[in-house]
Structure 1
Amino acid sequence: MLTIYGVYRSRASRNYWMAGELGIPFVSVPVIQGYRLDDPTAADAPLNTLSPEFLAVNPTGLIPCIDDGGFVMKESLAINLYLARKHGGPLSGRTVTEEAEMLQWTMWAATEVEPHAVKIILLDKSAAESEQGRLTIRAATKALRKAFALLDKRLAATGHVVGDRFTVADLNLAEVFRYTMSQKELFDVAANVKAWLAACQARPAFKTMFEARLKEPE
């Protein structure tokens, strides 16, 4: 049985979505980020990333992580690639070349997109109250224009990142690009990205995941 450690309001959302797409049973162990608690080490603190019980599973103290029949793995995007490879089906690569492309695009999203995108989602709520916050978001948005143009061109042919179908590459990138949704100007000049992200988020497994996410406290 697959066990996913992490709350839905974290990068664990990617793994919950993936498990839903694959239709595999899983156990969810909610582990909240320690920084969200006044005293994460208190005796009555909920299970969090600084709890000894969780650190025994994942010494890095980061969520998400999974335990798949005794195999413990961390890093949300890599977990999804592993789950796709293990369970197969249309979300996985049909050829070695497709698998390589899925890895390539996932690494691109993690290294070239997410560092900028995460600044947007972290500062979005407080930016209006801070000039520095507004400047940071503006700089991040500017830095993402090239990435949006590149992905928009890629999607022009089939509407998918790899091949002619929805795969783990689409899911991984959609969860990274979700962080940028407040920046309308990026999507206004990337119609293919806008349509692709909307299609990804219209999938039943995404909706199920996101409904669970919205039920959790911020």
Structure 2
Amino acid sequence: MLTIHGVTRSRASRIVWLCHEIGLEFRQNPVIQAYRLADPDAPDAPLNTHSPSFLALSPAGTIPVIEDDGLTLSESLAATLYLARKYGGDLGPADLSEDALMMQWSFYAATAIEPDALTILFLHAPSRLQAGEDQAHVANAAERLIRPLKVVEAHLATHAHLVGGRFTVADINLAEILRYAQGYAELMGQFPATMAWLEECQSRPAFRRMWEERLAEPE
């Protein structure tokens, strides 16, 4: 059985969502990020990314990691693309061209969107007054995101999905990255087709199941 190492409050959410979409059973080992713990090296600390047993599996000390049929694989996008190819049916590629396009969109999301989207996730707090420095970082990140989001918007304005005219792993990978910036209306409001697509992705039962599981985990 597939094992996912990592709590769902991490990039493991992408893998969990995909597994729910395709009905793939898995065991989840709830490794938590060390930075979330006061003393991750304490004898009574929960299993975390500093724990020797996890570092033996993943020397980089990051989650998620999957184990499947003797393969140990880190990097969440590598994991989702692998699982979609092996188990995903229509969520995976039908041919080499689709495979290349799914990788293209996934890597574009990771390189052109995710770093600045994470800045917004961590620093944008719409319910409270923020320090001026944080506001400036968020504004700069949003400005940098306009160019890549225009690319996404142009595609989604004329296509219901990213690849093959159907919902695939590429949609999962991009949607989970765009979620980080979703709460910043000043930015995302400029891209109505992208927001409509994102909301449709997040209305899927498999996403809602993943999200409920994520919310049930300790913060």
TM-score by length of 2: 0.96
Confirm or deny: 8 A CA contact 1:17 1:205 kept in the other structure.
yes
Question: What does residue 128 of structure 1 align with?
Answer: 129
Superposed CA RMSD in Å reads 1.3
Question: What does residue 186 of structure 2 align with?
Answer: 185
Name the amino acid aligned to 2:176.
Answer: E
Confirm or deny: 8 A CA contact 2:14 2:176 kept in the other structure.
yes
Q: Secondary structure at the match of 1:43?
A: coil
Question: What does residue 211 of structure 1 align with?
Answer: 212
Distance of 1:129 and 1:152 partners within structure 2:
29
Question: What does residue 149 of structure 2 align with?
Answer: 148
Distance of 2:160 and 2:186 partners within structure 1:
20
Distance of 2:132 and 2:170 partners within structure 1:
36
Distance of 2:182 and 2:51 partners within structure 1:
33
Confirm or deny: 8 A CA contact 1:148 1:186 kept in the other structure.
no
Question: What does residue 30 of structure 1 align with?
Answer: 30
Confirm or deny: 8 A CA contact 2:124 2:184 kept in the other structure.
no
TM-score by length of 1: 0.96
Q: Percent identity?
A: 49
Where in structure 1 do 4 or more consecutive aligned residues deviate above 4 Å? none
Name the amino acid aligned to 1:118.
Answer: L
Structure 1: which 5+ runs fail to align?
Answer: none
Q: Secondary structure at the match of 1:105?
A: helix
Per-residue deviation, residues 22-75 of structure 1 (Å, max 9, x unmatched): 111100000010011111111110000000111111111100010112210000
Confirm or deny: 8 A CA contact 1:32 1:46 kept in the other structure.
yes
Superposed, 1:24-103 pairs within 5 Å as 24-103=24-103
Structure 2: which 5+ runs fail to align?
Answer: none
Name the amino acid aligned to 1:81.
Answer: L
Name the amino acid aligned to 1:39.
Answer: D
Confirm or deny: 8 A CA contact 1:114 1:176 kept in the other structure.
yes
When the two structures are aligned, how many residues end up with a matched partner? 218
Q: How far has the Cα of 1:111 moved from its partner?
A: 0.5
Distance of 1:76 and 1:180 partners within structure 2:
19
Question: What does residue 140 of structure 2 align with?
Answer: 139
Deviates more, 1:171-180 or 1:115-124: 115-124
Distance of 2:2 and 2:129 partners within structure 1:
41
Deviates more, 1:152-161 or 1:46-55: 152-161
Question: What does residue 169 of structure 2 align with?
Answer: 168
Deviates more, 1:86-95 or 1:97-106: 86-95
Name the amino acid aligned to 2:190.
Answer: V
Confirm or deny: 8 A CA contact 2:181 2:188 kept in the other structure.
no
Confirm or deny: 8 A CA contact 1:3 1:67 kept in the other structure.
yes
